[in-house]
Chain A
Amino acid sequence: MTNVHTPLLEIRNLHAVIEEDGTEILKGIDLKILPGEVHAIMGPNGSGKSTLAHVLSGRPGYVVTQGTARFQGMDLLAMPAETRAREGIFLAFQYPVEIPGVSNTYFLRTAVNTVRKHRGQPELDAIDFLALLDEKAKLVKMEEALLNRSVNEGFSGGEKKRNEVLQMAILDPKLAILDETDSGLDIDALRVAASGVNALRDGVRGMLVITHYQRLLDYIIPDYVHVLSDGKIVKSGDKNLAKELEAKGYSWIEKEPPPATASTVAGALAR
Chain B
Amino acid sequence: MSDAVLDRLTRQEYPHGFVTDIDTDVIPAGLSEDVVRLISKKKGEPEWLLDWRLKAYRHWLTMTEPKWARVTYPPIDYQKIVYYAAPKSSVEGAPKSLDAVEPELLAMYEKLGVPLKEREILAGVAVDAVIDSVSVATTFKEKLGSLGIIFCSFSEAVREHPDLVKKYLGSVVPSSDNFFAALNSAVFSDGSFCFIPKGVRCPMELSTYFRINQADTGQFERTLIVAEQGARVSYLEGCTAPKRDTNQLHAAVVELVALDDAQIKYSTVQNWYPGDREGKGGIYNFVTKRGKCAGRNSRISWTQVETGSAITWKYPSCILLGDNSVGEFYSVALANNYQQADTGTKMIHIGKNTHSTIVSKGISAGHGQNTYRGAVTILKNAEGARNYSQCDSLLIGDQCGAHTFPYIEVKNSSATLEHEASTSKIGEDQLFYCMQRGISAEDAVSLIVNGFAKRVLKELPMEFAVEAQKLLGVSLEGSVG
Q: A residues near B, CB below 8 A?
A: 57-61, 80-82, 84-86, 90-91, 93, 96-97, 99-102, 107, 110-111, 114-115, 118, 150, 167, 171
Contacts and interface: CB of A to CB of B under 8 A. Distances in A.
A84 B436 CA distance: 8
Given A60-B432, A81-B432, A99 B447 contact: yes
B447 A102 contact: yes
A114 B443 contact: yes
Contact of B451 (A80, A90, A99): A99
A111 B2 contact: no
Interface string B435-454: 11111110100011011111
B435 A97 contact: no
A57 B428 contact: no
16 contacts: A57-B436, A60-B2, A81-B432, A81-B435, A85-B438, A91-B436, A96-B433, A97-B429, A99-B433, A100-B451, A101-B450, A102-B450, A107-B447, A110-B439, A110-B447, A167-B437
Interface string B267-307: 00000000000000000000000000000000000000000
B79 interface: no
A171 B428 contact: no
Contacts of A107: 434, 437, 447
B1 interface: yes
A27 B208 CA distance: 65
Nearest to A153: B451
B455 interface: yes
Interface in B140-196: none
Nearest to B428: A60
B429 A114 contact: no
B452 A100 contact: yes
B433 A93 contact: yes
Contacts of B2: 60
Best-buried of B437, B453, B454 by chain A (most CB within 10 Å):
B437
Interface residues of B, number: 25
Given A100-B452, A150-B451, A111 B437 contact: yes
Nearest to B430: A97
**Interface SS, B side:** helix
Given A60-B1, A100-B452, A111 B432 contact: no
A80 B436 CA distance: 10
Given A85-B437, A101-B455, A102-B454, 20 more contacts: A57-B436, A58-B435, A59-B436, A81-B435, A82-B435, A82-B439, A82-B441, A84-B436, A86-B438, A99-B447, A99-B451, A100-B452, A101-B450, A101-B451, A102-B448, A107-B434, A110-B439, A111-B437, A111-B438, A167-B437
A91 B439 CA distance: 14
A118 B436 contact: no
Given A93-B433, A99-B430, A99-B433, A171 B451 contact: no
Contacts of A80: 1, 435
B443 A85 contact: no
Contacts of A84: 436
Given A60-B432, A96-B433, A97-B430, A171 B438 contact: yes
Contacts of B440: 82, 114
Contacts of B441: 82
A58 B435 CA distance: 9
A97 B447 contact: no
A80 to B, nearest CB: 8
Interface in B244-271: none
